[in-house]
Copies of this chain bind each other. A is one copy, B any other.
Amino acid sequence: MKKSASFDAPEVLQDAGFKVTPLRVLLLEVLHDAPKPLPVSVLVRKTKRVGADSATVYRALSAFVEKGIVKCLSLEKDKTSYEYILGKGHVHHVVCDSCGTIESISFCMRNIHASAAAKSKQFKLIKEHSLEFFGTCRKCVRAVR
């Protein structure tokens, strides 16, 4: 298996003012290469190979979030996941309510923030949104038949 050819994790780390350590490089590569958000459990497991402690992983993830490199989200109950977002446009997800499979999709809605702000009493300006879909994936639909 090959690493992404064009992604330069050390550069991203340096640009964000971080040191280039083995854990953070690996963590960033794993996150960048994933086609969908990865749960903490997976990130902790994958970084065990460089001897990383879960506490360090949590700390690195928080640091990444602060710099806007990754995003934290919880699509499934009691399952926090992280997703690489730097430079990427807005991404949404579809979650399988049967097996938990997650697919990322791009989906653009114009003026949605303004429309939402118009409905709101307490907010004048809305800056972000998250949109997630739920359904049963083809594999699980087949399994039920």
A residues bordering B, Cβ < 8 Å? Answer: 72, 74, 77-78, 80, 92, 94, 96-97, 101, 103, 105-107, 109, 113, 115-117, 119-139, 141
Please pick, from B74, B103, B126, the residue contacting A123 in the complex, using a CB distance under 8 A. B103
Across the interface, do A128 and B135 meet the contact criterion of CB distance under 8 Å? yes
User: Chain A's interface: helix, strand, loop or mixed, by majority?
Assistant: strand
Q: A80: which B residues are within 8 A, CB to CB?
A: 77-78
Q: A133: which B residues are within 8 A, CB to CB?
A: 113, 116, 120, 123, 126, 128-129
A-B residue pairs in contact (CB < 8 Å), sample of 5: A94-B123, A94-B126, A105-B119, A116-B133, A125-B135
Please pick, from B103, B128, B132, the residue contacting A130 in the complex, using a CB distance under 8 A. B132
Given contacts A116-B107, A119-B105, A122-B101, contact A135 B130 (CB under 8 A): no
